[in-house]
Amino acid sequence: MNGFERRCLCDAEETLVKRYGQSWHKMYASGNGCKNSMITDLNKWEKKNREIVRQLLRKTIASSCQSWVDKKMESFKKEFEKTWSHFLKYPEICRLIGKANLLPLLSPITPKDASPSRTETVQTGVLESNTQPSPPLTSLRSLAEFIEQNEIILSPVEIHPMRLRPKPGYVYVLKNPAFKDGVYKIGLTERNVQKRMNELHTTGVPLPFEEIHSWSSDVPKSFESIMHGIFRKVRVNRRREFFQAPPGLIQKVGDLVLCVLKEREI
């Protein structure tokens, strides 16, 4: 356990003792040395206050985390200012700063100073490549908002323009009755989806795969890569293309990704 974890644990323990120490003391006193009575009272208390204690722990740990971050940031700021003032003693560096106009980069970026493309990148959570300017895209924003609404399962991804020769294919979602419920395969094929399902039905798989949904795309490799990135939190095995997520959610994300790819012509 590192220092940060110990601090969170100590803060949580201190908060719980302040909040419930008196109740625990009463339970101990009511037990009067009787182990069974003590355990019974403790179980009743635990069932009654379980959710309250969890919420209290969450708030305490969050407060500890924020306090730790503030302390580290303050330490970094002091160290940076000290180092920066040391560099400013050298005329050569001062001339370089004036010539390169670096000072504005040292101040925090505000919404007023930020460019429209940068602001969109921060707000949406879907990182766009800055290699070429592009107007606001409805599908990209819709995808970003949907990812944010389902952040427990979905993750933001970087979407870069790519100059690839179109090679039509399919991105599919398959399930297998022999596998755990809620686990789906997201993959691609440049042939027929049914043929791919037949290929996957090997001696190691007792039952054939069933198609849940598929999308036709000119760039199935980009499509598949983006889907795998968005669902990386729920990937069952990083070496396999299986994900544990609701099929409706997978289909919705796939529809949005397809629209983004068509708009950007990736």
Res 105: pLDDT: 43
Res 86: pLDDT: 72
Domain that holds residue 118: 110-266
Give me the percent of the chain exceeding a pLDDT of 90: 26
Q: Is residue 201 part of a domain?
A: yes
Q: Is residue 7 part of a domain?
A: yes
Name the pLDDT band for 12 (thresholds 50, 70, 90).
Answer: confident
Q: 20-72 pLDDT, tens per residue?
A: 777 766 666 665 556 666 667 667 777 777 777 777 777 777 777 777 777 77
Query: Does 76 score more than 50 pLDDT?
Result: yes
How does the average pLDDT of the chain come out, rounded?
75
Res 134: pLDDT: 47
Residue 125 or 255, more confident: 255
Query: Does 111 score more than 60 pLDDT?
Result: no
Residue 170 or 135, more confident: 170
User: Which among 4, 41, 8 has a CA at the least distance from the CA of 26?
Assistant: 41
**Cα 151 to Cα 252: distance, rounded to the nearest angstrom:** 14
Q: 206-250 pLDDT, tens per residue?
A: 889 999 999 999 989 999 999 999 999 999 988 889 999 999 999
Name the pLDDT band for 123 (thresholds 50, 70, 90).
Answer: very low
Tokens at residue 94, please? 């001062």
Q: What is the mean pLDDT of residues 105-124?
A: 41
Q: 162-188 pLDDT, tens per residue?
A: 555 678 999 999 999 888 888 999 999
Please indicate, yes or no, whether residues 126 and 219 belong to a single structural domain of this protein: yes
Res 201: pLDDT: 86
Query: Does 88 score more than 90 pLDDT?
Result: no
Please indicate, yes or no, whether residues 119 and 209 belong to a single structural domain of this protein: yes
- Boundary residue ending a domain (82, 102, 130): 82
**Cα 197 to Cα 206: distance, rounded to the nearest angstrom:** 13
Residue 190 or 97, more confident: 190
Q: Is residue 88 part of a domain?
A: no
Query: Does 131 score more than 50 pLDDT?
Result: no
Count how many domains the chain has.
2
97 contact partners, CB below 8 Å, separation of at least 6: 103
pTM of the model: 0.49
Please indicate, yes or no, whether residues 227 and 183 belong to a single structural domain of this protein: yes
Please indicate, yes or no, whether residues 127 and 72 belong to a single structural domain of this protein: no
Please indicate, yes or no, whether residues 76 and 120 belong to a single structural domain of this protein: no
Q: Is residue 141 part of a domain?
A: yes
Q: Is residue 101 part of a domain?
A: no
- What stretches of the chain adopt beta strand conformation (E)? 127-128, 158-159, 169-175, 183-189, 210-217, 242-244
Burial zone of 71 (CB within 10 Å; 0-12 exposed, 13-18 middle, 19+ buried): exposed
